[in-house]
Chain A
């Protein structure tokens, strides 16, 4: 197991290097970029940029300095917010995005798995068709369409929830953004759970469990759920990426001061260092979370002989 983890850790190094290299050379190549002097910068930022990027050194050395800085969590100064470094902005925004994302993924798992199980147990019934039609709708309606519609219905026409703002994460403020963020993932997870549950329900040991007269809920929850959840676990990686990407628009729509909002503001205002910092930060986060998901999958699935196989 330890060997396997080490192997996987080594395996993510190329991915991380690609992410960092792409973003570094993009910022260096960009026309009208931060190093063209037609963009007037406040002198203190100009100075700190030049100090940070070591313009007097050859390019490979500059790249080396850049990676060394990243290792220490130093993403450089922000262009837009004079007194902040990008690291400080990330530290401000990320906890909020994290709370939003965690709530969304928990909601998606609970409701998605539940709906998928019901649909599978009652295959081809009215419930199945209704649930799967809703899931198809959930996949097809993008969350930046769903969010304004939710606001229109539940904040404007029927003022139950606030239409935006964060208010330090009060429950009422969280409901709409979390729901909007979770809906597409609920739909995907429901479809996946239903599919794998159908496979599991056809296996011999479930038939045995039924034939020896165990109550249905015990069969479903205790015997069928765990194997049926394996495909859901392997979907968690894309789900996390989807939620992080989705949080960018959701935070924009609801005016939540999370990392995604900083990212969009930075992108619109050409705050290069901020945009790049967020990309590297989220890139590393997604790669690490994918690794974690794979490891959990390995722990759950007895069919995978860890270490015996190569890195895949």
Chain B
């Protein structure tokens, strides 16, 4: 009997979700800016992953015949070379790859913290919720960029620390959103029926609440990735993030900014990639948010 109830509720949920998904997809596809961004981002991601293989250069070797060369087809220096003769095309793509990688990993870290925190606060509600959200409020008021820099100064500059630090500052938004959604989810019938059939709190959160949050979470992932990329490039720009010979878009822009008066291309290409990347993610995030939450549409 219990099993039957659960099944029918579950089936209805699936049907409704499928309907919403179809509607949403149509609405998103009608958003030309978001659609274009998806294509542009896919091109950049593929280029960042596979592009370096098709270049005759490797981003580390110094081409003594082409030091600080302007963009040229010769030797495949499509974006020119930097002041010590490294191919800028490959380096820009490697930087893009690094920025994307950090963006995605740090976003996952913040999801891990934010979803669990928000789901627990929202599910238990009451005093637990009040205390947990008060902590989030307090943390919101802190100057996080400064703390990340502080961490970098004290513990040296390594990649894992960058992930953790950036992930740890970006979970607040997700926790808030997830909590709000959980508050409305926990009084729905399927949660009640799970509780009646004897599921533990942890099982309900993991099996019934969190899967239903995924739609919201996906929207916020597309809005968090550009924020994370921005923070990382900010740190790298100041020389506190990615270190030579590795490159991220931030460190490349920083190099470029020092030499732009004589070799502007060293600035322009990484700056262009960074801006397009952030622009694309933001447009997609906006488009998804319009679909998911029409009330927030501007």
A interface residue numbers (CB < 8 A to B): 12, 14-15, 18-19, 22-23, 26-27, 29-33, 136-137, 139-142, 144-145, 147-149, 151-152, 156, 191, 194-195, 198, 237, 241, 244-245, 248-249, 252-253, 263-264, 266-268, 270, 272, 275-276, 278-279, 282-283, 286-287, 290, 312
Binds A, one of B6-14, B40-48, B76-84, B237-245: B237-245
Does B188 count as interface, using CB distance less than 8 angstroms? no
Q: A141-B278, A245-B234 are in contact. List 5 more A-B contacts (CB 8 A).
A: A267-B152, A268-B238, A279-B147, A279-B150, A312-B137
Contact A148 B260, CB 8 Å, known A26-B154, A249-B234, A267-B149: yes
Contacts A144-B234, A156-B260 given: A276-B142 contact, CB under 8 Å?
A: no
Cβ contact within 8 Å between A283 and B257 = no
Complex contacts, A33 vs chain B, CB 8 Å: 154
CA–CA, A56 and B38, complex, Å? 61
Residue pairs across A and B with CB atoms within 8 Å: the count is 125
Partner of B146, one of A141, A245, A253, A270: A245
**In whole Å, how far is A9's beta carbon from the nearest beta carbon of chain B?**
14
Interface residues on B, range: 35 or more
Chain B residues whose CB sits within 8 angstroms of the CB of A244 once the complex forms: 143
Please report which residues of chain B, range 220-275, place their CB below 8 angstroms from some CB of chain A when the two chains form the complex.
226, 230, 233-234, 237-240, 250, 253-254, 256-257, 260-261, 264, 267, 271, 274-275
Query: For residue B270, which residue of chain A has the nearest CB?
Result: A145
B4: interface (CB < 8 Å) = no
Scoring B137, B150, B226, B260 by chain A CB atoms within 10 A of each residue's CB, the highest score goes to B150
- Whether B275 pairs with A279 at a CB distance below 8 angstroms is no
Interface residue SS majority, chain B: helix
- List residues of chain A with CB within 8 A of the CB of B264: 152
Which applies to chain A's interface (DSSP): helix, strand, loop or mixed?
helix
B88 CB to nearest chain A CB (Å): 16
Contacts of A27 in B (CB 8 A): 154
Task: Say yes or no: is B214 at the interface (Cβ < 8 Å to chain A).
Answer: no
Closest chain A CB from B289 CB (angstroms): 12
Q: Which listed residue, A15, A148, A151, A156, touches B271 by the CB 8 Å rule?
A: A148
Are B298 and A142 neighbours in the complex by a CB distance under 8 Å?
Answer: no
A248-B278 in contact given A30-B155, A152-B264, A290-B141 (Cβ < 8 Å)? no
0 or 1 for each of B181-217: is its CB under 8 Å from A? (1 = yes):
0000000000000000000000000000000000000
| CB-based contact B260/A272 at 8 Å | no
By beta carbon, the residue of chain A nearest B238 is A264
- A31 is contacted by which of B155, B237, B250, B253 (Cβ under 8 Å)? B155
B282 interface residue per 8 A CB criterion: yes
Contact (A32, B156) CB under 8 Å given A26-B151, A253-B257? yes
Least distance between B56 CB and chain A CB atoms (Å)? 29
Query: Can you show 23 pairs from A to B with CB atoms below 8 A apart?
Result: A12-B141, A23-B150, A26-B150, A30-B155, A136-B279, A142-B278, A144-B233, A144-B250, A145-B274, A148-B271, A152-B267, A244-B143, A245-B143, A266-B153, A267-B152, A268-B239, A270-B153, A272-B153, A275-B153, A279-B146, A279-B147, A283-B143, A287-B142
Q: How far is the CA of A135 from the CA of B233 in the complex (A)?
A: 21
Contacts of B141 on A, CB cut-off 8 Å?
12, 15, 237, 286-287, 290
Q: Given the known inter-chain contacts A144-B253, A249-B237, A272-B153, please indicate yes or no for A152 contacting B260, CB distance below 8 A.
A: yes
Asked if B233 and A142 make an inter-chain contact with CB atoms under 8 angstroms apart, the answer reads: yes
